[in-house]
Amino acid sequence: MTSLTVDGVTKSFGSTHVLAGIDLHVPARSLTAVLGPSGCGKTTLLRLIAGFDDPDAGSIALDGEVVVGAGRSRPPQRRRVGYVPQEGALFPHLSVAANITFGLPRRSRAGSTRVGELLELVGLDAELARRHPHELSGGQQQRVALARALAPEPSIVLLDEPFSSLDAGLRESTRRAVAAALTAASATAVLVTHDQAEALSLADQVAVMRQGRLVQLDSPEGVYRTPSDAGVAGFVGEAVLLPAEIRAGLASCVLGSLRVRWPRADGPARVLLRPEQILLHAAPPGGEPGSAGAGRDGAGRADERGGGEGVEARVRDVSFFGHDAAVRLELVAAGTEVLARVAGHELPAPGSVVRLTVAGDALAYPPT
Amino acid sequence: MRWRVLGAAVGTAVVVLASACGLGPGSGTELTVYSAQHEDLVRVMLDGFARETGIDVKLRSGGDFELGNQLVQEGSASPADVFLTENSPAMTLVSGQGLLAPLDAGTLAQVPPQYASSGKDWVGFAARSTVLAYNPSLQPERELPTSIMDLAGPRWEDAVGIAAAGADFQAIVSAVVAVRGEAAAQAWLRGLKANAKIYRSNVAVMAAVNSGEVRTGLMYHYYWYKDRAESGGNSADTELKFFGNSDAGAFVSVSGAGVLKSSRHAADAQKLVRYLTSRSGQEALVDSDALEYPVGTGIAANSTLKPLSELDPPTVDIGRLNGPRVVELMQQAGLL
Amino acid sequence: MALISDPRPVAVDPDDGGAAAYPAGPGARPSYPPLLLLAAVAVALLALVPLGFVVGYTISTGWAETVRLVVRPRTADLLWNTARLTAGCVLLCAVVGTAAAWLVERSSLPGRRVWNVLLVAPLAVPAFVNGYGWVSITSAVTGYAGALLIVTLSYFPLVHLPVAAALRGLDPGLEETACALGLSRWGAFRRVVLPQLRPALLGGSLLVALHLLAEFGALQLLRYATFTTAIYDQYQSSFASAAATMLAGVLVLCCLLLLLAEIRLRGRARYARLGGGAPRPAGRTRLGRLTVPALAGLGALVALALAVPLGSLVRWLVTGTSTAFDGRVLAEAAVTSLGLGAVAAGVTTLLAVPVAWLAVRHRGRLSTLLERSTYVGSALPGIVVALALVTIAIRGARPLYQTTPLLVAGYAILFLPRAMVTVRSALAQAPPVLDSVAHSLGAGTLSTLRRVTLPLVAPGLGAGAALVFLAVVTELTATLLLSPIGTRTLATEFWQQSSSLAYGAAAPYAALMVLISAPATWLLTREPGRGTPR
């Protein structure tokens, strides 16, 4: 398996600019997820890597060897790139075994050991080999598509939103199987998706794209915890964005005084909190709005231990997801709406008043 | 897909074979004949010719004007050696374009002069008489028209069947033009447009008269005689009226034979035309089922037919009957 | 961590977007591969030859002469005859075809599979054989009423087939939603189902109308004068004359107007299923007390359309009293018909491939134009195409005149649209994404064609070839004009015999034509789309 380097790739269709200078490096034997909303250019990027189209500028190299660039381009059949399209796209007229061995040289096609190995790799029963694609479920088809792509031992595997056409229930198990197969095959893989949960859970490296540009390239934790801008922040997870005033490394906002991760120049800013950072506590006994320690403007002190201080908020509604719940709260004093995530076994009652404290640091971004 | 390729291959082979089958054994020469005469009659005569001379003939059948116009279009590049027509206007058309070669004197001597063209480039080999078929149960004999021109009159509304698109009827119209003049013919055609019911063919006309669908029908004699000779299915309730009196309706149409100038087998082509008008050829005609009139000098017609001498047809120059003009007149009248 | 400042505004990637089922293939943008384009243009030009001929001839004849030839009472007669027959037939076929389709696809009618076959079977009986069957029994079918009856009986399957297919593919969810919103069953049918049937109905009706405009044999037998019979008569009388070509011009105009009307009426509405999920088969309406009348109605339809002509045919076969039966000629005619059918089917399907390929894989203005050009052929009656080819061959391409290739070219022009429709849907079975995948697996262009595209496309191609074969075996008018010396086909021999009312002698040819057409027609009754991937 090889590494992939994309250098300054640009692509336009007519007057439509789709990719504007993409730089990306995918280390060997790792899985990179290209994450972005519909229309951001991620599928085009994949197709350029596969060789189905050529970039207007820039180069692409596999293991240091340039496959397209400087006016030359190697056709896809000679790039040894595995491709798994959105709907699997198995050859309907061939059996599963014939599909899988399609990319193998003719001599090796008859031998069935490879088929068995690959089916096992993707977590499918060996007896499926004789079936035809229309007899398989969506998830099974996707896995066979992956086995087919892996069979000729490609240098890199490209997956184009491979799970989006699956039923929600199938998605998770198929994802696990695919990720396991890729690891077991020591494959270098690029996965394109608009599902942030998918990208964060499967990938070693996440490339966030927006409008044809790579906005952040980082590990999943990095992208989640330290998004490069507010847009990325909002895209990769739920975000609570609040206006704040920064003074000496502390941000004053409606939730109190928060520590800021990287010191920023003093002045107005927006701070980002993740909903799971907002902790709910019972209101102090006799809790009237505006009493017991809250300042006149509603700002309290951030209290990491969760006892005593905090900002008062009224619970608007609770969305229960089983394992956790999203709680929409309205700050009593400031009237701002914030979202909090709590564990599923401690649910506040809608309409009740609770105290909010913040755990961890906030990230500061420019005001707009 | 394999079946399709296989099928195509088989098909091609088959077509090749089928067209090759047209070439039979025999002498090296093969004449190409464009014939508008009834195929069964022509085949009988051509078989006799082949027996006598051993020359094979390839036959293309069609309509008088279809073939005539085609010959005109083909011009000197035509593959045809001999042209046989059912009526004379089509032959006049081809002759008028200078496409026919002069016939051997011996050939022309075998028929009376009124059955050969004045330009000596074609000759008749069979003749047929115009008749009015009528259904006696619907059409009393005493009320039959005396002249063909009467049929355009008011008494004959929806009472006349004609095969307007056919060359036979158009030949009859050309005779009307020749005998009565264009103006009278135009008036007659206009009257017919109002009165006539149009059928596809003479057989259809006769069948319609027979079934009572229409009282009378204009056609040629031999259809009736032929049908009577077989089962009578289309003629049992039909009788024939011969106009006589040199009326245009007594017109005797001549089937012509001519040799094309462009023929590559001129000698053999002349032999064919000669055979058609010779005693053996004419007797073959008489003995056949065709029941048309022979034109050869001294050849008597089939005994079941009304003798040619009793028909009293009008005198027309068969070499001057104008086909295209008739078509124009009929178009103007709305019959075509 | 790479931080990039706010980007310049760039537009949306057209290839992206979750709506596309497959990502755009290598040729999805209209960049046309040159060889394919050349082939497609050549095919389209061939298809346009007859139209070009008629237009060119009209122009060279000049306006005054054209008016003189066209504006005559006869033309008005013919126009009136043609118009009222077309209108009546289209209407009747639409009603009969839709009703039959609904009964078979959406009601609890017993014996559905049998009815399906019986209702499509009239396609195996050419209209002129149908006419022969009726007119040899009684002459009461001549004239407007008889003509209307027989053409309706011959052509209603052309509406029945597409409407039945459309009903099969309808999403019952729409009707159920309509009923939930308060519409009655009939209201739901009228406002939800019928609009969805519109493309199928319009397409089928257009086919009926075009067939009718081109119909010659049946109407000649039934003594109903229309443009085609008049053109043929003109042709008989004065070959490729101005009058014939002018009439042909009027006919062509009518056909083109019909084509335009259909395109307009079809409109821009989308009728496919939106959103995800798979359509499930619709429930069937219980007929209850109406079962017997429905069965009786369908039975009567099938009896009139099939039993009468076929019965008459059998009767004539058995009791044939006309001239002696020439087995040799029959065999020769049969072999020729088969051979010509096979060759024409192969050639036409082959010709359809480049145009269909461009239309499916390289959608764009040019490819649509090329595709539309090929449909012109089916809008033109056989006689017009033949007339054009004969004249052009004589005037410009002598070596081709009176040769089989010219005849095959005529067939190709006439039946290209039939092949186009099936080749198109066959190509849709091999979407470009499969090509991409095959390339990524190491298969080159030729290898992909051989291993992926061809196997998927072949059954559809075969179906297209079968349709063309069927059409060629029963083709009459163009064959009469174009066939080389000595070529006898089943249709021309039949015509010759029936023209002299030798019904008995004509019967074997008719019978053979029906027999040969039967298997191809049977193919049409099989439901497409079984076994396609979920």
Q: What is the mean pLDDT of residues C244-259?
A: 83
Reported as type and span, the H/E element at residue C309 is: helix C308-319
Find chain B residues with C-beta within 8 A of C402's C-beta: 79
Q: How far is CA A118 from CA A123, A187, C434, C486, in A?
A: 8, 13, 21, 65
For C127, half-sphere exposure in the C-beta direction (CA atoms, 13 angstrom radius) is: 30
Mean pLDDT is highest, among A188-192, B310-314, C227-231, C240-244, for A188-192
Give the closest of B4, B79, B234 to C346, CB-based: B4
pLDDT category of residue C153 using cuts at 50, 70 and 90: very high
**pLDDT tens by residue, A148-157:** 999 988 889 9
Report the gap between the CA of A286 and the closest CA in chain C (Å): 48
DSSP state of A301: B
Q: How far apart are CA C250 and CA C242, in angstroms?
A: 12
Position C518 scores a pLDDT of 84
* Torsion angle of the four alpha carbons A11, A15, A18, A21, in this order, in degrees rounded to the nearest 10: 50
B230 contacts on C by Cβ (under 8 Å): 321-322
Q: Where are the alpha helices (DSSP H) in C222-271?
A: 227-238, 242-266
In tens, the pLDDT along B116-156 reads 988 889 999 999 999 999 999 998 888 899 999 999 999 89
pLDDT at position C400 is: 82
Tokens of C195: 């609009």
Torsion angle (degrees, nearest 10) of CA A101, A102, A105, A106: 90
Residue type, C41: V
Confidence of residue C28 (pLDDT cuts 50, 70, 90): very low
Q: What are residue A32's DSSP bridge partners?
A: A190, A205
Q: Mean pLDDT over residues C411-436, rounded?
A: 88
From CA A236, how far away is CA B104, in angstroms rounded? 105
* pLDDT of res. B4: 58
Going by DSSP bridges, is the β-strand pair B216-220/A240-247 parallel, antiparallel, or unpaired? unpaired
What is the crossing angle of helices C112-120 and C503-525, to 10°?
130
Q: Which of B157-166, C105-114, C282-291 has the lowest mean pLDDT?
A: C282-291
Task: Calculate what percentage of chain B has a pLDDT beyond 70.
Answer: 92
Q: Does C501 touch chain B (CB under 8 A)?
A: yes
> Is A31's pLDDT higher than 80?
yes
Nearest to C505 by CA among C497, C495, C514, C496: C497
Distance CA C154, CA A231 (A): 66
3-state secondary structure of B148: helix
> What is the band of C8 on the pLDDT scale with cuts at 50, 70, 90?
very low
**CB within 8 Å of chain B, chain C residues 445-484:** 454, 458, 461-462, 465, 484
pLDDT at C522 over 90: no
> What is the rounded CA–CA span in Å between residue A339 and residue C387?
80
Taken in order B36, B42, B43, B46, is the CA torsion positive or negative? negative
pLDDT, average across residues B19-28: 44
**Interface contact C500-B58, CB threshold 8 A:** no
Confidence (pLDDT) at B66: 77
Task: Tell me: pLDDT of C21 over 50.
Answer: no
- The DSSP element (H or E) to which A313 belongs, if any, is strand A311-320
Q: Are A76 and A141 in contact (CB under 8 A)?
A: no
Residue C240 has what pLDDT? 59
Convert B60-88 to b/e letters by CB count within 10 Å (16 or more is b).
bbbbbbbbbbbbbbbeeebbbbbbbbbbb
The DSSP annotation for C320-333 comes to --SSPP-HHHHHHH
What does each C-alpha distance from B277 to A332, B80, B167, B298, C470 come to in angstroms?
125, 20, 23, 11, 46
Alpha-carbon distance A306 to nearest alpha carbon in chain C (angstroms):
33
Q: What is residue C95's predicted lDDT score, i.e. its pLDDT?
A: 94
Task: Spell out which residues of chain A touch residue C434, defining contact as CB-CB under 8 Å.
Answer: 89, 91
With bands split at pLDDT 50, 70 and 90, how would you rate the model's confidence at C398? confident
Which residues have CB under 8 Å from C253's CB, separation 6+?
A: none
Q: What is the DSSP string of B63-120?
A: -HHHHHHHHHHHGGG---SEEE-SSHHHHHHHHHTT-EEPPPHHHHTTS-GGGB-TTS
Option in A17, A39, A103 nearest C442 (CB): A103
From A354, A249, A343, select the one nearest A300 (Cα to Cα): A354
pTM of the predicted protein model: 0.76
212-271 in C: which are within 8 Å (CB) of B? 220-221, 223, 225, 230, 232-241, 243
* Side chain identity at residue C532, one-letter code: T
Domains and CATH numbers, chain C: 32-269+288-526 (1.10.3720.10)
Q: Which token pair is A217?
A: 């390239």
Domains, chain B, with CATH or none? 27-126+252-305 (3.40.190.10), 128-251+322-333 (3.40.190.10)
Neighbouring chains of B at 3+ CB pairs under 8 Å are C
DSSP C101-130: HHHHHHB--SSHHHHHHHHHGGGGS-HHHH
For C233, nearest residue in chain B (alpha carbons)? B165
Whether pLDDT at C128 is above 80 = yes
- DSSP H helical ranges for A215-286: 220-225, 230-236
Residue A76 pLDDT greater than 50, yes or no: yes
Find, among A249, A244, A220, the residue nearest to A232 by Cα.
A220
Q: Which residue has better confidence, C169 or A336?
A: A336
Contact between chain A and chain B (3 or more Cβ pairs less than 8 Å apart) = no
Q: Which of B243, B266, B238, B255 is nearest to B295 (CA)?
A: B255
Indicate yes or no: CB of C451 within 8 angstroms of CB of A38.
no
State whether residue B162 is helix, strand or coil.
Answer: strand
Q: Which residues of chain C from 178 to 217 reach within 8 Å of chain B, CB to CB? A: none
Of the candidates B4, B221, A3, B16, the one whose C-alpha atom is nearest the C-alpha of residue C458 is B4
- The β-bridge partners of A267 are A246
Highest mean pLDDT of the ranges B79-83, C121-125, C466-470: B79-83
Percent of chain C exceeding pLDDT 70 equals 87
Q: Does C436 touch chain B (CB under 8 A)?
A: no
- The verdict on C339 touching B (C-beta cutoff 8 Å) is yes
Closest alpha carbon to C33 in C356, C362, C349, C359: C362
pLDDT range class, residue A112, cuts 50, 70, 90 = low
Q: In whole angstroms, how far apart are CA A110 and each of A127, A133, C443?
A: 16, 19, 17
Residue to substitute from C65, C216, C227, C236, interface B, most B β-carbons within 10 A? C236
Q: How confident is the model at residue C279 (pLDDT cuts 50, 70, 90)?
A: low
ipTM of the complex: 0.80
Segment B175-211, tens digit of pLDDT: 999 999 999 999 999 999 999 999 888 988 999 999 8
Mean pLDDT to the nearest integer, C136-161? 90
Does the CB of C434 have a partner CB in chain A at under 8 Å? yes
Q: Test C345 with B327 for CB contact under 8 angstroms.
A: no
Of residues A53, A154, A228, nearest to C3 (C-beta): A228
